[in-house]
Structure 1
Amino acid sequence: MSRPSPLSVVIWCVLLVAAVVYAYAPALSAPFVFDDRSVALENPSLDSWGAAFIPPNDGRPVTGRPFANLTFALDRRLHGDDPAGFRVTNVALHIAAALLLLSIVRRTLERIGAASSRAVLGAVAAAAAWALHPLQTASVTYISQRTEILAALFAFVSLLSLIRRVEPNGTRYWSVIAVVACALAMTSKETAAALPVLLLAYDRTFISGALRVVWRERRALHLALASTWFVLLALLLTHGDRGGSAGFGAPEVSAWHYLLTQTRAITRYLELAIWPLSQVFDYGTSVVRDLASVAVPIALVALGLLATVIGVRRNHALGFVGLCFFAWLAPSSSVIPVLTQTMGEHRVYLPLAALVAGVVGVSAAQSRLPDHALLLVLLALSVPLVSLTRQRNAIYTSEIALWNDTVTKVPDNSRAHYNLGRAYALASEPGLALDAFARTLALDPIHARAHDAMGNLLAAAGRSEEALERFDRAIALEPRFPDARINRGALHESAGRFAAAIVDYSVALEVEPDAADARINLAAALIAARRPVEALAILDADRARRLSTLDLAERVADLRARAHMGVGMDHARAGRWDSAAAAFTEAIEHAPTLAAAHANLGNVRLQQHDPRAAIEHYQTALRLQPGLPGIAENLAAARAALHAR
């Protein structure tokens, strides 16, 4: 067959891009969900370019992944808090990865003997099946899983650069690109640890045919690729446990039990790759502890691994496919426990590329069907994938729908019930929210956040005693739980229990020194408890200066004024009129419209035998608050004192 024209390849690429955009269009109206907020909205490292290179080491999806974090910082600059902008970036990266995959598969099919025109059709079929597969929504629509897309994207760049390097017109610059892309993959996600091995295996399988040839002709390149492991090692040494979200530190999740769980996970991924009709957003943190319950998955995974080993030993293309699938999954789906999520469909983002390239791409390239019939088959494959992906994306447009879908499919997932409760609470559905939180606690009685969330709803409904009980239980489970401390403190403060409120706010502020609500509430409680000097110390601390950058300046100014008022009253009661006048003047500077401050300063000026100044402040107080008790009488006394002079 003749070689396809460049125009025909461009047309295929344009059609593929259009199909992906159409499939993901519904997702653009979706809100931030789950970890998206911690990555895009509550990520302090996004405030400056320098800080973006050092993401927080607290287990959020960007921990230990500086390049991924940098892309979120860029999105913050471009799109602010608009989730649509962040998703546009994810979709654009996904499209770029699909086009790279198309080029890789086309060149690979030609290397194993496919005619050029069939290699293009096979590559288009593989790229379309991969890019339009509903499984990919777990990485593309779920914004925080951009890490998967970036790692795969750079892996494709590195692999394509290796292929271009050995082509007749290849230059050494392709080697440089391959190494740089490999290093960037390491800074995007730890699964890229497999990339140097996969590049070596590709070279052996499709280019050189033997390791000795690879070593003789390109050992410098592969050694340079392997050197990028030092980049990953540096990140692991500083963020090895990903803020406690991964590693062997949790005795309740052993490496053995996690491995058993992954056999079930891998067979689940394969099932969804073939029949993607029951996707789950969050599988939770459950682990398999019974060997017999996963006997079939173990057998299937063992057969897959055996076939992969045989294929690799025989230098067969399907051996490379199996190696890609298992090696890329290995960092998160083997023996190293990922404590926050024992299964996740986003993990199969790149491994799915190996599967579709090996099955769809090769089948299309080697098909005996004429081109027009093969095109019809490609269309028949793409239409249902686009439809299913659009349907899956539509679920993301409502957090209630997303979490309802999750709890329906995984009813024992306490975290999903908790997040469903939060979604109902945000939608002003307190009854449904309480039901969801109650279900959470039925599954996980020590879920401190669920107790706290129930307390908030009960407090809002005026059920203070029940709310206090929930806050008490949350704090008993997590004594330094700042949100529960703040919420219980507010309940104590509203009941006039200022000493108890001060204790709770102080603990919350100790845990989170930058927590604006804890600092402001603590200052207010100290003022109410007649401890204004301590309140001023809280408001004037170095960390309090950040409050002026928030929408809290007016509230902080009011608290400072009230605190100075309290100081002034203490001085006035002791007869220290000059000090009292200075304090009331400070209060007026912070809150010029505070009538009580003017009235008190008027009283002090009258005691200082300055009736003219007293009259001025009394008049201002009455103008700001007509009918202020006692001021009319004081004003009359000041006028009488002035006339008596």
Structure 2
Amino acid sequence: MSNKSVWSRLPLHLFLIAAVALLAYSNSFHVPFIFDDEGSIVTNNVIKDLHRFLYDDGYIYNPRRFLGYLTVALNYRFGALDVTGYHVVNLAIHIGTGVLSYLLARLTLSTPALTREGEAGDASWFIPLFAALLFVAHPVQTQAVTYVIQRLASLAALFFVASIASYAKARLLQEETGRPFALKPLSFYILALAAAGCAMKTKEIAFTLPFVVVLYEFMFFRMTAVKKLLFLLPVALTVLIVPLSLLGTNKPIGQIISDVTAATRVDSELSRLDYLFTQFPVLATYLRLLVVPVRQNLDYDFPVYHSLASLPVLFSLLLLLVLFGAALVLWYRSRAPQAEPELRLISFGILWFFITIAVESSVIPIADVIFEHRVYLPSVGAFIALAALFSLCFKGGISRSAVATAGVVVLALTATTFVRNLVWGSELSLWGDTALKSPNKARPHYNLALALEKSGRLDESLQEALIATRLSPKEAPPFNLIGTIFGKKGDYDQAIASLSQAVKLDPTLAEAQVNLGDAYRLKRMLPQAMDQYQAAMKQRPTDASIYHKIGVTFALQQNLPKAAVFFQCAASLDPATPQYRLDLMRAKAGAQGQ
């Protein structure tokens, strides 16, 4: 295939990537906010005022993920809580990352190491296209794309791949012109640095980017050691962005060390060694999902391992060592004259996977040991390796049968993604699927109970909440939900018992305190209600609804002057709610009548 014909196919390739992604996610635009979306978007006041976000609260809220949350704030500015706009942006990011993966693979096949080792032939268009189509069509990506707040992972991946692709383009231009500081290569080099910075201010997974750049330079370009240092040093320095974002300023060294330790634990009680042992089977699961995407689960009930001698740990470690060893062997073989370019691409893709997964699957304990969105960035390398391996199986050239086989694979993955997005279609279907696959984990049952309660199916919700309390008896939220359900049923004694247990388990759970106050108020136990409301007010001093409930309680006690004070506070905090102003006027009128 001539170069001219390859270039003439570029628009078609980009169209195919976008079309496949759109088809796979065409039923995802109305998937509701779920799970962490609630705290990160729905009830997150920080993202609801764009001016305050940009000039006041935004950077303080999460300096490590400022750019990711900025895009969420922009979504809210233009569409409030209309979920469609968020999904449109997520899909656009996914398509963009797919296109950049295509361009990166295409540029890589033009690097000196591969062109020297032999003509790529049909592989020069087939490998990039197949890799990109695998990336956008694969159902393992649904959690990073359909789950709104996991935009942080997909957006970081977009900037990450953009940085590597820009670096590759800069280096190719330098090789062609022989002038490293000419305008065009320098422009792409600066773009690579800018994209690296953006990736690292979107999510911490971008910490590995400089290591991938070093790997890329080592595997695909030839340069003297001095020049390598000159070009790699600025990129290498970007590795400091994430640690500096983690640390507070103007703190003593002991406090800084403490901050680093806390920041690299991410709310987990696991020891670093136990987390590492557990990650070996987790990585094996990610690899299995990439090859055979079945039994996907939003919330895995994954066992924690405490010994290297455990068979799942040992077998998984052996698998990973074999894969890593294969990458090194393939790299060594690719150095031979006239070696197939696919060998080095496969090696690079495998090493990309291991490097980019290291932040979340190594010795840094994270509360949840496995989540599918964590494989989004590593999958870029994995799919390049798989596409190259597929191409290697057709050494005589990419035949029509090979293209047809690849097409069938992509269509099958697209259909599987579409079906998986049907599961994401509602909270009931998603948490029902999750509870079925993780029957011994409390969180899926609790979230299913919440979804059932929202839909008015109180008896079913109660059963799921009771399962959650049985599986995790020290967690307060399920008891809070049980109390809420009994309250809706009018059984205030049972409600008070369950809500009291919730408050006992977590005295800082303001929602449970408010609900307990409501139950006491409806039982006309007004002093007890007042105690709970005031305790909740200390937890949420800017929550207008709590001030209103205190005002209602004072009104029931015939203390209208005090009721008016709290109604005034509620109306000041939330002037958009007319009920607060109406009750304020009534209390003032009643107080004057007294």
Residue 560 of structure 1 corresponds to 584
Cα 1:116–1:317, aligned 2, differ >3 Å: closer, same or farther?
closer
Is 2:320 aligned against 1:301? yes
- The one-letter code of the counterpart of 1:346 is H
Structure 1 alignment gaps of length 5 or more:
573-645
Of 66-75 and 49-58, more deviation after overlay is shown by 49-58
**Deviation per CA, 1:460-519, whole angstroms, max 9, x where unpaired?**
111111111100100010012100000010111111111111111111111011222212
Structure 2 Cα separation of the partners of residues 288 and 237 of structure 1: 31
The correspondence for 1:123, drawn from 117, 128, 136, is 128
Is 2:21 aligned against 1:2? no
Deviation at 1:262, TM superposition (A): 1.1
Of 138-147 and 73-82, more deviation after overlay is shown by 73-82
Structure 1 Cα separation of the partners of residues 262 and 546 of structure 2: 27
Deviation at 1:38, TM superposition (A): 2.2
Is 2:277 aligned against 1:260? yes
Residue 598 of structure 1 corresponds to none
Structure 2 Cα separation of the partners of residues 32 and 242 of structure 1: 32
Deviation at 1:373, TM superposition (A): 2.4
Is 2:151 aligned against 1:146? yes
SS in structure 2 of the partner of residue 462 of structure 1: coil
Cα 1:246–1:344, aligned 2, differ >3 Å: closer, same or farther?
farther
- Aligned pairs for 1:394-433 (under 5 A) are 394-433=422-461
Contact 2:350 2:385 in 1 (8 A): no
- The one-letter code of the counterpart of 2:25 is Y
Residue 347 of structure 1 corresponds to 374
Residue 327 of structure 1 corresponds to 355
Contact 2:349 2:383 in 1 (8 A): no
The correspondence for 2:227, drawn from 217, 227, 241, is 217
- The one-letter code of the counterpart of 1:456 is T
Cα 1:494–1:56, aligned 2, differ >3 Å: closer, same or farther?
farther
Is 2:525 aligned against 1:497? yes
Name the Cα RMSD after superposition.
2.6
Seq. identity, %: 26
SS in structure 2 of the partner of residue 348 of structure 1: helix
- Aligned pairs for 1:131-530 (under 5 A) are 131-167=136-172, 168=176, 170-208=184-222, 213=223, 215-238=225-248, 247-248=264-265, 252-283=269-300, 287-289=304-306, 291=308, 292-293=310-311, 294-307=313-326, 317-339=345-367, 341-364=368-391, 367=394, 368-530=396-558
Structure 1 Cα separation of the partners of residues 375 and 527 of structure 2: 53
Contact 1:527 1:566 in 2 (8 A): no
Deviation at 1:46, TM superposition (A): 1.2
Deviation at 1:283, TM superposition (A): 1.8
Contact 1:257 1:289 in 2 (8 A): yes
- The one-letter code of the counterpart of 2:378 is P
Structure 2 Cα separation of the partners of residues 103 and 413 of structure 1: 42
- The one-letter code of the counterpart of 1:230 is L
Structure 2 Cα separation of the partners of residues 512 and 386 of structure 1: 45
- The one-letter code of the counterpart of 2:130 is A
- The one-letter code of the counterpart of 2:166 is S
Structure 1 Cα separation of the partners of residues 154 and 561 of structure 2: 53
Deviation at 1:381, TM superposition (A): 1.4
SS in structure 1 of the partner of residue 26 of structure 2: helix
Of 505-514 and 28-37, more deviation after overlay is shown by 28-37
Structure 2 Cα separation of the partners of residues 180 and 420 of structure 1: 42
- The one-letter code of the counterpart of 1:450 is P
**Deviation per CA, 1:565-598, whole angstroms, max 9, x where unpaired?**
45435xx5xxxxxxxxxxxxxxxxxxxxxxxxxx
Contact 1:65 1:188 in 2 (8 A): yes
Cα 1:539–1:234, aligned 2, differ >3 Å: closer, same or farther?
farther
**Deviation per CA, 1:144-179, whole angstroms, max 9, x where unpaired?**
111111111111111111111122264201111000
Cα 1:471–1:309, aligned 2, differ >3 Å: closer, same or farther?
farther
Structure 2 Cα separation of the partners of residues 490 and 29 of structure 1: 34
Deviation at 1:405, TM superposition (A): 1.1
Structure 2 Cα separation of the partners of residues 108 and 243 of structure 1: 36
- The one-letter code of the counterpart of 1:197 is F
Deviation at 1:304, TM superposition (A): 3.5
**Deviation per CA, 1:365-417, whole angstroms, max 9, x where unpaired?**
66224432232122121110111010101111121111111111121221111
Cα 1:94–1:45, aligned 2, differ >3 Å: closer, same or farther?
same
Cα 1:338–1:236, aligned 2, differ >3 Å: closer, same or farther?
same
Structure 1 Cα separation of the partners of residues 225 and 567 of structure 2: 66
Structure 1 Cα separation of the partners of residues 388 and 268 of structure 2: 44
Of 286-295 and 304-313, more deviation after overlay is shown by 304-313
SS in structure 1 of the partner of residue 370 of structure 2: coil
SS in structure 2 of the partner of residue 64 of structure 1: helix
Cα 1:5–1:324, aligned 2, differ >3 Å: closer, same or farther?
closer
Cα 1:260–1:533, aligned 2, differ >3 Å: closer, same or farther?
farther
Cα 1:332–1:73, aligned 2, differ >3 Å: closer, same or farther?
same
The correspondence for 1:546, drawn from 565, 570, 573, is 573
Structure 2 Cα separation of the partners of residues 81 and 342 of structure 1: 30
Deviation at 1:215, TM superposition (A): 4.1
- The one-letter code of the counterpart of 1:516 is A
Deviation at 1:84, TM superposition (A): 1.6
Residue 22 of structure 1 corresponds to 23
Structure 2 Cα separation of the partners of residues 28 and 381 of structure 1: 25
SS in structure 2 of the partner of residue 230 of structure 1: helix
The structure with higher relative contact order (CA 8 Å, sep 6+) is 2
Structure 2 Cα separation of the partners of residues 457 and 84 of structure 1: 31
Q: TM-score scaled to structure 2, two decimals? A: 0.88
Structure 1 Cα separation of the partners of residues 502 and 327 of structure 2: 49
Computing the radius of gyration over CA atoms, which structure comes out larger, 1 or 2? 1
- The one-letter code of the counterpart of 1:252 is E
Structure 2 alignment gaps of length 5 or more:
178-183, 250-255, 336-343
Structure 1 Cα separation of the partners of residues 490 and 263 of structure 2: 41
Contact 1:107 1:119 in 2 (8 A): no
Contact 1:246 1:338 in 2 (8 A): no
Residue 97 of structure 1 corresponds to 97
SS in structure 1 of the partner of residue 132 of structure 2: helix
Cα 1:289–1:522, aligned 2, differ >3 Å: closer, same or farther?
farther
- The one-letter code of the counterpart of 2:381 is A
SS in structure 1 of the partner of residue 295 of structure 2: coil
Structure 1 Cα separation of the partners of residues 378 and 191 of structure 2: 23
Deviation at 1:544, TM superposition (A): 5.5
SS in structure 2 of the partner of residue 178 of structure 1: helix
Structure 1 Cα separation of the partners of residues 366 and 24 of structure 2: 31
The number of aligned residues is: 558
Residue 252 of structure 2 corresponds to none
- Aligned pairs for 1:595-634 (under 5 A) are none
Structure 1 Cα separation of the partners of residues 260 and 493 of structure 2: 36
SS in structure 2 of the partner of residue 27 of structure 1: coil
Contact 1:57 1:64 in 2 (8 A): no
SS in structure 2 of the partner of residue 428 of structure 1: coil
Residue 35 of structure 1 corresponds to 36
- The one-letter code of the counterpart of 2:128 is A
Contact 1:154 1:185 in 2 (8 A): yes
